[in-house]
Amino acid sequence: MEVIKKGPEWSMDVECTGYGNGNDGCGALLRVTLDDVFKNQVHAGNETNTYLTIRCCECSVMTDLARNHIPSDDIPIRIWNNAATGVRHKDGGLCHPNELNLTSGPPKSPMWETS
Ligand SMILES: [Zn+2]
């Protein structure tokens, strides 16, 4: 098989609002790619929700983009499937493993263990 034309690389423009994370974002407009978004699992009572989240490169506040693998016009399911698992940042909160240079191999400190 020969690729005639590759599919476009996914990106999305996101305002840093801190949505889902205290709403204390800086308002920067960010163009994010797969290398920026990460999955963030939150347990609340009996419920477990998974969020697709970014960490702002300006203010370090996290903003949730989507929840529970629900695809949208902005975020196709392949982004959910390929997004990295967030890892703890030394300054608190989570970030993409790339930010901590954990790109080689699986994340070294996954934020959650499945039991
Ligand atoms: Zn920000």
Q: Could you state, in order of their start, the residue ranges of all structural domains in the chain?
A: 11-100
pTM for this prediction: 0.81
10-residue mean pLDDT profile of the chain (115 residues): values are: 92 97 96 96 92 96 95 92 94 91 55 51
Residue 110 alpha carbon to ligand 1 centre in Å: 24
Sign, CA dihedral 72-4-9-106, equals positive
Instruction: Judge contact between 99 and 38, C-beta under 8 A.
Output: no
DSSP class of 114: -
pLDDT at 5 (0 to 100):
94
User: Distance, CA 111 to ligand 1 centroid (Å)?
Assistant: 22
* C-alpha dihedral sign at 92, 112, 64, 28: positive
**What does the pLDDT read at residue 71?**
87
Question: 17 CA distance to ligand 1 centroid (A)?
Answer: 7
Residues that place a CB less than 5 A from ion ligand 1: 16, 25-26, 28, 56, 58-59
Q: Which residues contact 94 (CB under 8 A, 6 or more apart)?
A: 38, 40, 53, 55, 62, 86, 87, 88, 111
The answer to whether 26 touches 17, Cβ cutoff 8 Å, is no
* Confidence at residue 8, expressed as pLDDT on a 0 to 100 scale: 86
CA of 96 to the centre of ligand 1 (A): 15
**What pLDDT, on a 0 to 100 scale, did the predictor assign at position 115?**
46
Whole-number Å distance between alpha carbons of 90 and 68: 26
**Could you give phi then psi for residue 57, rounded to 5 degrees?**
-75, -10
